[in-house]
Amino acid sequence: MSALKDLESKKYISLETYKKNREPVRTPVWFVIRDDFIQVITRERTGKVKRIKNNQQVKIATCTIRGKITGEWMSGIAKIMTGVEADNAVRLRDRKYGFATKIAKFASRNKGKFVAFNIKLD
């Protein structure tokens, strides 16, 4: 899929998830691409995880670190991963983003263990 190929060199995507009242919430996130999926790693007690459990529909677009959209929006479905799948995604993320992940891990340590989710674009 060429959309995934185009994303590989990017650092951030804006992840749009939805509250129960369907209000969108956009969050800039790090990501990796593996096996035709976009994988995002976060902690289990974050709003993103709560919203995805309620509604797996998401949108993504490339963005800056501050969330300014720089690309086209694409729709997809997110599926939460845990265990070995999540651990593998964390390793890929750490390899892509290097030392910055150590800081992020420390800053988010009170939000629970790592979970990841796969995003399959429509």
Residue ranges making up the domain that contains 115: 2-121
Say how far apart CA 98 and CA 121 lie, in whole Å.
26
CB half-sphere exposure, 18, CA atoms < 13 A: 14
Name the region of 65 (left: φ>0; alpha: ψ -120 to 50; beta: rest). Answer: alpha
Q: Which of 104, 33, 86 is nearest to 62 (CA)?
A: 33
pLDDT in tens, 23-66: 999 999 999 999 899 999 988 889 999 999 999 999 999 999 99
pLDDT in tens, 72-84: 999 999 999 988 8
- Looking at the DSSP bridge assignments, the partners of residue 9 are none
Is the whole-model pTM more than 0.75?
A: yes
> How many domains are contained in the chain?
1
Radius of gyration of the chain (CA): 13
Say how far apart CA 107 and CA 119 lie, in whole Å.
25
Q: What is the domain-level CATH number for residue 42?
A: 2.30.110.10
